[in-house]
Structure 1
Amino acid sequence: MKDYDQDNLEQEAIVVAVLSTWTHGDPPEDARVFCNWIADMAQDFRVAKSWLGGVQHAVFGLGNAEYDEDYGTAAKNLDRELSDLGSPALVPLGLGDDNVDQFKQFDVWVDNLVAAMCEYSSEKAVAALKKTRSPAKADKAGKKEWLSQKEFRRQKRAKKAEAAAANGESVELNEEDLMNEQFLVDDFSDEEEQSQNNANDDSGMVDVEDIGKSMKESEAASKSREMVTPMQRKALTKEGYKIIGTHSAVKLCRWTKHQLRGRGGCYKHAFYGITSYQCMETTPSLACANKCVFCWRHHKNPVGRVWRWKTDDAETLVKGSIERHQSMIKELKGLPGLIPARWDEAFTVRHCALSLVGEAIMYPQINEFCKQLHNRHISSFLVTNAQFPEKIAALDPITQLYVSVDAATKESLRAVDRPLFKDFWERFLVCLEELKHKGQRTVYRLTLVKSYNMEELDNYAELINIGQPDFIEVKAVTYCGKSDGSDLTMKNVPWHEEVRGFCSALCDRVSGEYALASEHAHSNCVLIAKKKFCRDGVWHTWIDYERFHELVAKFYEDGTPFTADDYTAPTPHWAVYDSKEQGFDPVETRFRRTKDGKVVEFAYQSTESGCG
């Protein structure tokens, strides 16, 4: 396992693992990186649960039954996580106890495995496999049967509670869970009551009247309540979040891992020059005021219109975020292809993406939080959903401020973002107005979703005129698998050429003030910039980070203002729109799959890009 290239896993037909158990049920050292990676993929909300659907697996664990709950734990976990990622088991998990005849137990398991592999290779097995992968069961009319959102959630909660109780892992719903549940279902309640008979609703786990009572409790009492409930903590931890304090979290981005292995950085590296392996993705607020249909988090995080929870200290959260991030970096030692020099540098965080989950700007100490980052020479990219105009107005200078512009009309914004505020559109427009008064770099982030928001070019142009952002990021929606919080499918994901076409048409509608500046084809993302950032024919979308830290330190010292023009840097040729590299840094090594599924390198010669 130590030398196995993980990128080949999804192309395998059969994977067989024989795994011993180390101290406390951990996998042995040579298997630790692979097992940790599989565990991470199984917990990652961005990885479809059918990812390894074409890979059959078989796992045999070695250990000593005298260790009770630690017996065969590494093998048990690997077998379960492969199954969670959609891989069918060729044979049941096998365990060999060295107190008995371990070789005999292994021989019996191998006999069963060989028989299963022979059956797998036969025409009958192929036919059976196709049958197991047939589409979801349809009704007599040939259409998929649908449950209401409310009923679906009720049934899912009931199943989870039943399974948790059976495993001794049940977590009791508390008052905060009830309030979040109400926020998550109230958008659908009116529609369902008009079209369905709700006589059976009293069988659900959550009573709406009880929720209404809990929401009317005194504000003073709520301020001492923790945001993340035990149930939410369990769900978020399972998906790989490292919870910090009572309302914050950090998670390792996959692009951090990619660039640590020399396989390319994220789109922010191409657009703005950040070093992806020194970037920390975090949030000081897991709560959000929207329930976007494309949300990666599948609505497991808290929701709310106001800050109603206990508040953790900003400095403590920043320290905790960095420590947990460094801990995750440390665990990557031994990752195949890891570049040691980059791994050493990765412990020094140089950039913070406040976009992990939730609405960071809701956090009452957001200015102090960003100041703590800047004092450590960590740049800040903050993303907001444009529902808190007063927070935007009160925000001190940061490196780059984003506003998510997910749709261009009131009706489509309601459909895409599903906001909690009744006056969401008015709040949205005021946020855009506030954006043009900020002196630092401002960005509109457009997420394109087919059949939702790609037909509103003229309306988008009007919104651009309101906020006059420095940059406009246009990205295709990322499909994150099936979720009870959304009905999106791969059909809603536009191709990169469609994104390029959309951006070109948008530039034509904004009075010649903007142009296509950069792209990152791997992320299906294009950057539009004001033409003022193109100086003497050279784009300056990159950031002079050292200059920014000098400017923001002066601001903290005596209030000296500064603007986006004061800390720009030239964009390298490979990151410019329409370049042959399409935003892939030539100092990295590009990996592509051949027709037979093998991962091969496409090396580039080094440039003076400044990466790393």
Structure 2
Amino acid sequence: MDPTLDTWDFSSPLISLWINRFYIYLGFAFGFSLWICFQIVIRKQNKNSQEKTVPRASQDLMTNGYISRPKKEVFVSGVKIFYGSQTGTAKGFATILAEALSSLDLPVAVINLKDYDPDDHLAEEVTSKNVCAFLVATYTDGQPPESAEWFCKWLEEAANDFRFGKTYLKGMRYAVFGLGNSVYVSHFNKVGKNVDKWLWMLGARRVMTRGEGDGNVVKSKHGSIEADFTAWKAKFISRLQALRKGEGKRCRGSCKKGKCESSRRGSEAAEPGSHAQEELHHRDAEEEEPFESSSEEESDAEDRQSRNSVVDVEDLGRIMGHVTKEKAVLGWYCGFWDEDVKMN
């Protein structure tokens, strides 16, 4: 037997495969394409089944097949506590307030007004989303303590300077607690009242009514200046918790007769007519104390009243004119009737 023939017979399948390699490659490519199409169809079916089971709200949050958490809107980014103290009482209250706010998990800064330059930094609070608390004492003859002299002087000049305007601090939120003694009636809490008024004149928004601590235990509302501060602190923390939830309340500066008129607008507005809104408004109206309106507000009120009185007088004049005309017409008819009767 020829050995070359056996070799040829053994290698003939391999030669056949080599000759027909094109068809083999084509078969592999066709099979691989079918496998890819099959995988695409399966993934599409799985995606459709997930869309049916996932709620609509979750579908809107889908990004590249993963559910992304929505960014939580921040209504309060922190609290800054400013104090102006002469004997250390306001400083002590500021420290106590900072410790009480630590449970809210908010950044808290305690700042001495002596070390604070309002000309450089106060306008930053417009966009910072901080809530600023001012604890200021009234010293001799209604003057601010030495640590707050420059701040109060700058604030007064800015409030009365047309170059700053009434929107200079628009967006800033603040609360004021004044320390004083009602024995000095004419100067009681004068600094706290002025700081509150000047901030409001520059467009800042108070988050709650000004608190007043009275060192005169006889006339103190809660029995002592410490108790007055404790009551104000509780209200401030409650308001801060509400602000963190977006339950903002705008004070329009027209607080009269012991009631603070408030309105909710924009993203801070609650649903109109809701029970929660009515309850919160009622509670705030009962708790808040009156705020002395500025002389500018009083003059505006007097102007409106005088304009209304002028309109009333004009209306009265028109009415009297109509009555006079009616009397004249009636008299003419009566005279004509009398003459007709006499002629008959």
**TM-score, normalised via structure 2 length:** 0.39
Highest CA radius of gyration, 1 or 2?
2
Structure whose residues are more often helix by fraction: 2
**TM-score, normalised via structure 1 length:** 0.22
